[in-house]
Amino acid sequence: MTIREHGSQPVRIEQDVVLARQLTRKLASDCGMRLVDLTKLVTAVSELARNTVVYGGGGDMDWEVIEEAGRTGVRLVFRDEGPGIADIKLALTDGWTSGSGLGLGLTGARRLVDEFELDTAPGRGTRVMITRWI
């Protein structure tokens, strides 16, 4: 796997959620991602970035444009040093929310991308990595 481009931007306040979506849209369209796939990726980013702000107490989004076996992908990592998630299975259940959401963010984001990795533990923060290939 080669990393063609990479960077990082803060996801601290709600306006950062909009900025995260805008950057993702630009990265994906620069790589020639199809509109439907791009829309799915941007929607997943919106869900995860909002979780980072609302539950994680703010964090960062690392981004990469990667190449592997002749294909290009956009990979994003959302990380925070918030409370973490105690019950991963529950958090990955459709409709489960600890707040007033629909409980669709994590599960929905997972369905919208090609690769999804959730790494979290109480007191250790949360890290979610997603990849969408072109």
Partner 1 sequence: MERIPILQMGEFLLVTIQVDMHDQLALRLQDDLTDRIEHTSARGVLIDISALDMVDSFIGRMIATISGLSRIMDAETVLVGMQPAVAITLVELGLTLPGVSTALNVDRGMHLLRKRVGRP
- Give me the residues that bind ligand ATP (CB under 6 A), please: 47, 51-52, 55-56, 80, 82-85, 91, 96-99, 101-107, 126
Question: Is 33:95 a contact under the CB 8 Å cutoff?
Answer: no
Q: Least distance to ligand ATP from the beta carbon of 97, Å? A: 3
Q: Specify the residue, 102 or 121, whose C-beta has the smaller distance to Mg ion.
A: 102
Q: Using the rule CB under 8 A, is 42 a contact of partner 1?
A: yes
CA-to-CA separations, 2 to 5, 8, 105, in angstroms, rounded = 9, 17, 29
- Which of 6, 26, 111, 124 contacts partner 1 by CB under 8 A? 111
Q: Using the rule CB under 5 A, is 51 a contact of Mg ion?
A: yes
As to burial, measured by CB atoms within 10 angstroms (0-12 exposed, 13-18 middle, 19+ buried), residue 26 is exposed
Q: Using the rule CB under 8 A, is 72 a contact of partner 1?
A: no
Alpha helices in the chain (DSSP H): 14-30, 35-54, 88-91, 105-112
**Among the listed residues 45, 55, 70, the one whose alpha carbon sits nearest the alpha carbon of residue 129:** 45
Interface with partner 1 (CB under 8 A): 14-15, 17-18, 21-22, 25, 35-36, 38-40, 42-43, 46-47, 50, 94, 101-102, 104-105, 107-108, 111-112
